[in-house]
Chain A
Amino acid sequence: MTLEIIGITVLWTFLFGYILIGAIDFGAGFFNAYSRITAHEHTLTKIIQRYLSPVWEVTNVFLVFFFVGIIGFFPKTAFYYGTTLLVPVSIGIVLLAIRGSYYAFETYGARGHKGYSFMYGLAGILIPASLSIVLTISEGGFISMVDGNPVLDYWMLFTSPLTWAVVVLSIAATLYISATFLTWYANKARDPEATDLLRKYALVWSLPTAITAGGIIFELRRHNPAHYVNIQDFWPMFLISALMFIGTVWLLWKRQKYGWAFILLIGQFIFAFYGYGASHYPYLLYPYLTIYDSFTNPAMAISLIVAFILGLGLLIPSIVLLMRLFLFDKDYVRGKGDYHA
């Protein structure tokens, strides 16, 4: 394994971490706002707040970790992506800022403020859409070089069916992941009403997730034939992913083993995500940037990897502690006692 592969694997893993816990977070914000509009408030809000409150800041760090890491390991991405992504990523930042701060305002400052919860619910659901544009652009075809500087063709980007397939997938998958997780969490909290409602949401959003995921592969055949061919080489991974998806939906349908349903869901996204990533190899931005020509110098690469290992030594026990105190603490999950500051 070369340092380049280690670097991109680490980053891809952090991106996956962000997508997974970010999806739970964003979807939960949306369901929270939605439940207030549809008068399911008393059913959902408590469950959602109990899970989200201690971890909302951690979610954001995964994103920071990813974009700082990619500049560290692949400094040339700053030149290509930095120049072209000014507008889409700025919009993403604004949405993240509104969401993060309004979440805190609502939860800690003005408990139960409707306008705030609506703002963070809406902003949250738009974030995956605005950030997933980056994945579309990485497929190539939207950036041209003018006088040695990359320029993004917005018209082409916004009229491409691939763009919209990715946007719809990101929203559907966000709601699907979030609802499945919260079904399990609500069930653990022994709240049958919330469990039922969330189970319904999970089932509703499973179908568009599956359809758009398939649609993207279909779109790629036209848009980036080379990538399409590569994807076929990884067909077992996508098959496993599809089987796991069926397993999750089956368990949800049968109202059984929600914990396993969520684990299968993680598996489904792991196989799809890494399969997609591996088939994108070696390009970071097709066809301008590969992981080899953009990789940092060996001295920096090694020091980053050392820092990464030491950092994980600190982080993993801390995250385990966090999960044990909140996610897996029976009294906390069931809402016995209000311990917040």
Chain B
Amino acid sequence: MGNEEAVFYSRVLTELTLSFHIIYATIGVGVPLMIMIAQWVGIKKNDEHYILLARRWARGFIITVAVGVVTGTAIGLQLSLLWPNFMELAGNVIALPLFLETFAFFFEAIFLGIYLYTWDRFENQKKHLLLLIPVAVGASFSAVFITMVNAFMNAPRGFDISNGELININPLLAMFNPAMPTKVAHVVVTAYMTAAFVLAAIAAFRLLKGSNHVYHKKALYLTMKIGLVFAIAAAIVGDFSGKYLAEYQPEKLAAAEWHFETEENAPLIMYGVLDDGEVKYAIKIPFGLSFLAHSSFTAEVVGLDQFPEDEVPPLYIHYLFDLMVTIGVGMIALAGIYWIGMKRRWKIIHAKWFRWLIVLGGPLSIIAIEAGWWLAEVGRQPWVLRGLMRTEDAATTSGQVDLMLILFALLYLILGVGSVVILTRMFRKNPVEQEIEDRETEKGGDVL
């Protein structure tokens, strides 16, 4: 196998691992917060339903955590196995957040174990709630630290290169690079948003499938409200991310927006297809891009003409951008209508078709997460470290990457199917009505 093939297969394998991992990782970051909120609401309102909600979410959460942990271990090792030259260089500068991420993960793992095995052990439920704080904090901080590493790849800082040697290394400067604030905020907020909408989808699905229990209604209202808040936050941070790109990484923004010529009063192109270098069927919003990039309708926006051809990212990232933004805006609208509808007692939000939209919202949010990551990562091509190291110089020289790709594809298939089978079986076998009944008999009927 030539080196070119090794680079190609390394890219495919990394993409496969990460695309699979982020489904479970996003749930892993978002769901602990939801469990914590449900537990807290349950204690505050003295409502057993919310406590049960927390407990049932926690039970499903374990399965997703297991897959998240093992695929996270896989990507952690694959970074060195597939990109040894990159890790050798980056290890010198960016090892600190990588190291801190394992601490956050450690912290979360310990308290998750304690939390899961101390149900009913403490008389005071508040004590049990306290255990969730390190779980949620640990989960979010792993996301923060690992995203710092990724931000560094987009905006390498904190060192100088002199005669091919790294000098003046400053690990803190590398961590707090210009891409960090928007990236970290966007990743964390969209993880919360996605987790909320996934849980809302489950509640809506149960309601559609015949269960009319008030438990599911409470779950739906809670998660849609949380989802709305974080969806709005995601949009705001997303706008900041666009402004960051215009300032520091204009080639990614220009490729994502099909902005070919540097110009003032730049229009925003939505949707459309690219045919032989010509944009067709697109919606053009005059001055839109200038405003998006610089908060001024007339500002100049750098186009792709400013970059050598071999430094321009693939133009298909425009479709990913459209997909991500459309889903994001759609979810704000859906959750907004639901929330206002609940306040004003609109009938439509209880309609079947509306609930199906909410069910659809869960998987769509995950698709938006995937599209967003592909956009961010492919938009950085051809660089692995923007401006410093090209992807083809970072990859392994090993000849067995194609075989490993097959091996891991099979693994993810097994894990994906396994986790779905287990999760559905777990909750089908023990529906909430059954569990409430069981608890009532257990406690002598004074629960609800």
A-to-B contact residues, CB < 8 Å: 53-58, 60-61, 63-65, 67-69, 71-73, 75-76, 78-87, 89-91, 93-94, 96-98, 100-105, 108-110, 149, 296-297, 299-300, 303-304, 307-308, 311, 314-315, 318-319, 321-322, 325-326, 332, 337, 339-341
Contacts and interface: CB of A to CB of B under 8 A. Distances in A.
A72 B96 contact: yes
B82 A86 contact: yes
B114 A325 contact: yes
Q: Which of B103, B116, B407 has the largest number of chain A CB atoms within 10 A?
A: B103
Q: Which of A85, A100, A110 has the largest number of chain B CB atoms within 10 A?
A: A100
Contacts of B114: 54, 321-322, 325-326
Interface string B58-92: 11001101110111111011101111110111111
B103 A341 contact: no
Q: How large is the interface on B (under 10, 10 to 19, 20 to 34, 35 or more residues)?
A: 35 or more
Given A71-B91, A81-B80, A109-B423, A101 B418 contact: yes
Nearest to B175: A303
Contacts of B415: 97, 101
Contact of A299 (B55, B71, B121, B169): B169
B119 A61 contact: no
Given A86-B398, A101-B70, A105-B63, A75 B92 contact: yes
Which 10 residue pairs of A and B lie closest in terms of their CB atoms, listed nearest first?
A: A75-B91, A72-B95, A82-B84, A104-B66, A109-B422, A78-B87, A97-B70, A54-B113, A82-B80, A57-B109
A71 B407 CA distance: 25
A103 B398 CA distance: 32
B62 A108 contact: yes
B107 interface: yes
Given A79-B84, A105-B422, 7 more contacts: A60-B70, A83-B396, A90-B78, A296-B95, A307-B100, A318-B110, A340-B116
B105 interface: yes
B205 interface: no
B342 interface: no
Nearest to B13: A90
Interface of B: 55, 58-59, 62-63, 65-67, 69-74, 76-78, 80-85, 87-93, 95-96, 98-103, 105-107, 109-121, 134, 166, 169-172, 396-398, 400-401, 403-404, 407-408, 411, 414-415, 418-419, 422-423, 425-426
A300 B63 contact: no
Contact of A78 (B91, B172, B411): B91
Contacts of B414: 98
Contact of A94 (B59, B85, B408, B422): B408
Contact of B87 (A64, A75, A340): A75
Contacts of B117: 53-54, 325-326, 332, 339-341
A78 B166 contact: no
Contacts of B84: 78-80, 82-83
B422 A64 contact: no
B99 A69 contact: yes
A64 B166 contact: no
Which secondary structure dominates where chain A touches chain B? Answer: helix
Contacts of A81: 80
B91 A60 contact: no
A134 to B, nearest CB: 11
B102 A86 contact: no
Contacts of B73: 60, 63-64, 93, 96-97, 100
A55 B112 CA distance: 9
Contacts of B400: 86-87
Contacts of B110: 58, 315, 318-319, 321-322
Contacts of B69: 57, 60, 100
Contacts of B81: 82, 85-86, 89-90
A149 B111 CA distance: 43
Given A78-B88, A97-B411, A105 B96 contact: no
A315 B101 CA distance: 13
A149 B411 CA distance: 29
A119 to B, nearest CB: 10
A319 B113 CA distance: 11
A297 B92 contact: yes
Nearest to A81: B80
A103 B120 CA distance: 24
Contacts of A58: 106, 109-110, 113
